[in-house]
Amino acid sequence: MRWKTPTRSVVNARGSAPVPEGDSIHILAGKLRPVLVGRVVTRFEARPLPKAATDDLVGHEVVAVEARGKNLLVRFDDGRVLHVHLKMLGRMRVEAQRAEGARAHFRRAPPQIALEVEGARVVGNRIPVLRLLRSAAAEARSPDLAGLGPDLLAETFDESGAIARLRTKGETEIGAALMNQGLVAGIGNVYKSEILFLEKIAPRTPLAQVRDEALAKLLARARWLMRKNVAARGPRTTRFALAGPNKWVYGRAGRACLVCRAAIVRIYQGPPPGRSTYFCPRCQS
């Protein structure tokens, strides 16, 4: 029996943005919950995880799927946690469960990860962070999870905690600090550029020069935009207009600012080689 490629949804890319941000991962978690939660694993393969560890998950139930910042966590009934971070190139999708005759095809082009339950499977490729944590204690010891700042998309966002963490980096440029997931989790290149533009803050401004009230407004703006995009589940949008671009400055270097007509500038911030930041030198002066 020939296996036909099923309908699938690639959920790590939002429009032209190449890197998943917090909203993308929350959307991914939302797509995976009805497929996985409450169902028993019938097959699990993942490279480079040891086969013995992956085989041992067969027969266990998925009890939760969570997003924390840019991290995806799949929890099993024995306390183990599958931790996934897509970074720049990772891809994950949901597929209808393949027919029995598909195994030869599967062997010819195996995905990096294949997690199957009755009726569906989740597959992924080019995932740079893929680990199976043995327990909640192991999760608590994981530096890239335990060290995360408050998640902007958490049901209850710890605004004061995020501001307190940002205050520890007083000499850091705000454009670089917003990308530090240990200070506040979920913001990527797109939201960083857009919220700084909307709040009229220059990206090279040291954090020490930004008042608490301004930081609170900046974080509230990011949280509002991210929640709106999770609910919409369409191309990531920060400019809600009937015509023209759906973003104010991101990806628009050299083009006219939509407010003042000055040329949008692109700079690089953070540890070398740096990450792109777009801004208007007039509106954000």
Dihedral Cα 62, 26, 234, 257, nearest 10 deg: -160
Residue among 75, 89, 276, 93 at smallest CA distance from 189? 276
In b/e form, how buried is each residue of 172-208, taking b as 16+ CB within 10 angstroms?
Answer: bbbbbbbbbbebbbbbbbbbbbbbbbbbebbbebebe
The structure tokens listed for 37 are 């939660």
| Residues 77 and 63: beta-carbon distance below 8 Å | yes
Q: Say which residues have a Cβ less than 8 Å from residue 149's Cβ, sequence separation at least 6.
A: 69, 161, 162, 165, 180, 181, 182, 183, 184, 185
Backbone dihedral angles phi then psi of residue 82, each to the nearest 5 degrees: -90, 120
d(CA 20, CA 91): 10
d(CA 204, CA 166): 15
Residue among 187, 179, 216, 184 at smallest CA distance from 199? 216
d(CA 212, CA 253): 30
Residues labelled as active-site residues:
20-21, 70, 275
Residues paired with 180 in a beta bridge: none
Name the DSSP class of 254: T
